Structure 1
């Protein structure tokens, strides 16, 4: 009998050997995005977060476009045509830098571009997608309203016909990229059901006042969208879908990126706590040598890498065309909750230093409070899974 192969050394950065599941191209994309965030985001992110601004958003968008990170998993029109796993790895690296940076990419690619790519006309795709893929044009996605978040079917934004034109009136709230966008995908009630509209942000009657005084996602542009008699031509409507399945389909695509991205915030916090535990001394020894600290680190590592495995599994299913919306809810619910817990535990290891912007932990924790809520609250995803498990609808 031949001898069994010797296992490789234990790697604290990859304790389960998940990298063995990745192809060389997957690793190359991951490492490229990681290097970009190291050079372009990490040296400045604490300052941007503290000031509550993302002053170089247009510059970053163009650089992300050059990387192929915008509309990354879409085909054609200048998009990279990457796999779902590759897109997920990019989201993980972006959110390891900051959730706001990943949100910029997710809203651009998985919401605005995806809506045009999936439901738009060929003319709309050709007009908007190449510029958006290059980062020359920034997009936003208008669904949530001031009084209607989890219940988009009750939206009040309305589009009426006036001859051959459409006239839109309404308000949208908590819109990432809103005040820097050149194009907005806006969902509105019509006499024939919910429809999506491609709205140039320079149209008369359109405005996007920026939302200030946020304590989360501070390095991200967040706006209200105001539509006062915005007149659009007939061909502004997305022809490929009617009803809520349009915007909900876009949200599923974006939620998938959150499954991966949240693990990036968790990884950054875990790595910070691990390094700190090895250098911080109390009672004459590194705190990483105490049993209670090791228990925390072990639990954090288990949940982090379980979450990455879950994201990888869902990515393979998306690439195979077998991923269901309920499974995305499973991933979003689990991974964001566990990411927040990892950040909170990491903060305890850092002690008082954990609240300082000299370390990323509290920034990630506060960002994840928004990630927990947007694109489906905990309660909504629990009810999605509850309905799938029982066959009974408890939403109302």
Structure 2
């Protein structure tokens, strides 16, 4: 996968840095976290081609996007996470929500939906997790019941054919912990059809489709997380991703290596930002006649090990990205390892940054907590 050339990638990253500097000062980000508020205006500006068009990095060129590679998306994800994990999650959720379309849709569906997302800068959400079916998607309870030509609802497996034995589906079920759940304009929804788990495309205003309140989370509070409730939500047959039932789990598995890599990049970006704040503090704070960065008991406990762990995680992320961009498929295990090593390193860096700042580390104004 060719991806962006170096000049274009650096332009995207530099533009994003400038936007964050001008529009996302620490005071604003702290207030978002305090208010548990999804920054709708920020996401609109990030997606607006006149500002950044950031969502275009995730969309193939043939559908109006920039066609970013795994490496490009890792770099964007890392930078976004260093700015704010909540805003970064809002961006990544759109990428995740388009995955079933990217890997499983027919050419006609891809052209229509990916072009629509690119042109209209739509927020997208990925509706897989249920209250009793998190990582174990095989236990999902959401149903997709076919509707025949005469409007009669049947539970039998009726093939979708060119002459239209099935006109649509009625979707019923509940989804939990859905990023962008309350704010997206488009949703991919996993449900059990007669032929097996299948993805469906659902628009925000479909009758019978309700969104829950924004969850009051411990962290990443600028990200909208909400439950979804569907009760006999009708979608046309051409909203079945791939036009064949029973492909949903395979389509989900196909991108786990890719999406886990991006979550790993979040750990890398947030961890390094916490560490940078600790380093700056250590260069200013004087104890015992010298700044803390001159004291090995401090740096070799709270700074150096975290830098080593984070850069080791970066090397693994870039190795997996290179393999994905080289055309290897799957890599679910490698993606999981990247996610684990980078997020564990990021969490440890954030924890040590709190300790590195002493009492200040526990105060929201200093942002490492």
Mark yes or no: TM-score above 0.5.
yes
Decide which of 208, 213, 219 is 1:216's aligned counterpart.
Answer: 219
Task: Indicate whether 1:32 and 2:15 are aligned.
Answer: yes
8 Å Cα contact 2:253/2:332 also seen in 1: no
Decide which of 294, 310, 313 is 1:304's aligned counterpart.
Answer: 310
With 277-286 and 227-236 compared, the bigger mean Cα shift is at 277-286
- Residue equivalent to 2:79: 93
- For structure 2, list consecutive stretches of 5 or more residues without a partner in the other structure: 149-166
* Whole-angstrom CA distance in 2 between matches of 1:355 and 1:301: 21
Q: Deviations over 1:262-313 (max 9, x none)?
A: 1100110010000001111223322222222110211111112222222222
1:222 to partner: Cα distance: 0.9
Task: Indicate whether 1:153 and 2:164 are aligned.
Answer: no
Q: Deviations over 1:326-353 (max 9, x none)?
A: 1111101111111101111111001121
**RMSD (Å) for aligned C-alpha atoms:** 2.0
SS at match of 2:297: helix
Shift in CA distance, 123/86, structure 1 to aligned 2, threshold 3 Å = same
1:62 to partner: Cα distance: 4.1
Task: Indicate whether 1:331 and 2:338 are aligned.
Answer: yes
With 228-237 and 32-41 compared, the bigger mean Cα shift is at 32-41
Q: Deviations over 1:219-277 (max 9, x none)?
A: 11111000011111111110166141112224433212112221100110010000001
Task: Indicate whether 1:279 and 2:288 are aligned.
Answer: no
Task: Indicate whether 1:269 and 2:270 are aligned.
Answer: no
Shift in CA distance, 300/291, structure 1 to aligned 2, threshold 3 Å = same
1:52 to partner: Cα distance: 0.6
1:24 to partner: Cα distance: 4.2
* Whole-angstrom CA distance in 1 between matches of 2:298 and 2:356: 7
- Residue equivalent to 2:254: 249
* Whole-angstrom CA distance in 1 between matches of 2:355 and 2:263: 25
* Whole-angstrom CA distance in 2 between matches of 1:117 and 1:253: 12
Decide which of 50, 61, 75 is 2:34's aligned counterpart.
Answer: 50
* Whole-angstrom CA distance in 1 between matches of 2:146 and 2:41: 35
- Residue equivalent to 1:294: 299
* Whole-angstrom CA distance in 1 between matches of 2:243 and 2:318: 30
Superposed, 1:10-159 pairs within 5 Å as 23-43=6-26, 44-54=28-38, 56-66=39-49, 67-75=52-60, 76-109=62-95, 111-134=96-119, 136-159=121-144
* Whole-angstrom CA distance in 1 between matches of 2:107 and 2:11: 32
* Whole-angstrom CA distance in 1 between matches of 2:47 and 2:353: 30
Task: Indicate whether 1:235 and 2:247 are aligned.
Answer: no
SS at match of 2:242: coil
8 Å Cα contact 2:257/2:333 also seen in 1: no
Q: Deviations over 1:107-144 (max 9, x none)?
A: 102x2223223222344334432342356321111000
* Whole-angstrom CA distance in 2 between matches of 1:23 and 1:126: 27
1:193 to partner: Cα distance: 0.6
- Residue equivalent to 2:152: none
Shift in CA distance, 125/31, structure 1 to aligned 2, threshold 3 Å = same
* Whole-angstrom CA distance in 1 between matches of 2:58 and 2:113: 16
* Whole-angstrom CA distance in 2 between matches of 1:27 and 1:289: 34
SS at match of 2:343: helix
Number of residue pairs aligned between Structure 1 and Structure 2: 339
- Residue equivalent to 2:194: 191
- For structure 1, list consecutive stretches of 5 or more residues without a partner in the other structure: 1-21, 363-396
With 327-336 and 75-84 compared, the bigger mean Cα shift is at 75-84
1:31 to partner: Cα distance: 2.4
* Whole-angstrom CA distance in 1 between matches of 2:350 and 2:315: 19
* Whole-angstrom CA distance in 2 between matches of 1:322 and 1:335: 21
8 Å Cα contact 2:267/2:342 also seen in 1: yes
* Whole-angstrom CA distance in 2 between matches of 1:177 and 1:152: 20
